Amino acid sequence: MAKPDCLFCSIVKGETPAAIVGRGNGWLAFLDVAPVFFGHVLVVPEVHRETLVDLDAAEVPVLFGAAQQIARAVTTATNAQGTFVAMNNKVSQSVPHLHVHVVPRTKGDGLRGFFWPRKKYPSEDDKELVRAAIAKELA
């Protein structure tokens, strides 16, 4: 069930554009508009759930199975050495719709603790190249 004023519900329904990298039964994955590193993906449940504890038991393996697939695809597509996978629940949750961050990581990339310096893609073309590479790996 979608929530009318939720940005991520609007993206799931196709009403708000997003750089979608993949979709499965019960989940959607798209590039973060302000990535920590290029290739930073958000994985969301298709139904509106605000936090992890709001997921139905059957939805947990669906969402985390998707996050696992996305982590694999992001690592390969961005030539990363690994990923950082995280979620906020209420505190520091910028959009009140559950989302799993999958961030490509490389040793020495400068990410320290929970300070996430955000950036923007230099252009829509650069963003599309990253989106297409991840989508290709996911397929």
Say how many residues make up the chain: 139
Q: What is the mean pLDDT of residues 68-90?
A: 96
Sign of the dihedral through C-alpha 32, 91, 115, 43: negative
Q: Work out the angle between the directed axes of helices 124-138 and 59-77 (0-180°, nearest 10).
A: 120
Mean pLDDT of 1-29: 95
DSSP state of 123: -
- Report DSSP letters for 94-105, one per residue: SSSS--EEEEEE
What domains are defined for the chain? Answer: 7-138 (3.30.428.10)
17-73 per-position pLDDT tens digit: 999 999 999 999 999 999 999 999 999 999 999 999 999 999 999 999 999 999 999
pLDDT greater than 70 at residue 115: no
pTM to 2 decimals?
0.88
DSSP for 35-53 reads -SSTT-EEEEESS--SSGG
% of the chain exceeding 90 in pLDDT: 84
Q: What percent of the chain has pLDDT over 70?
A: 97
Least confident of 38-47, 107-116, 129-138: 107-116
One-letter amino acid for residue 96 of the chain: P
pLDDT at 114: 62
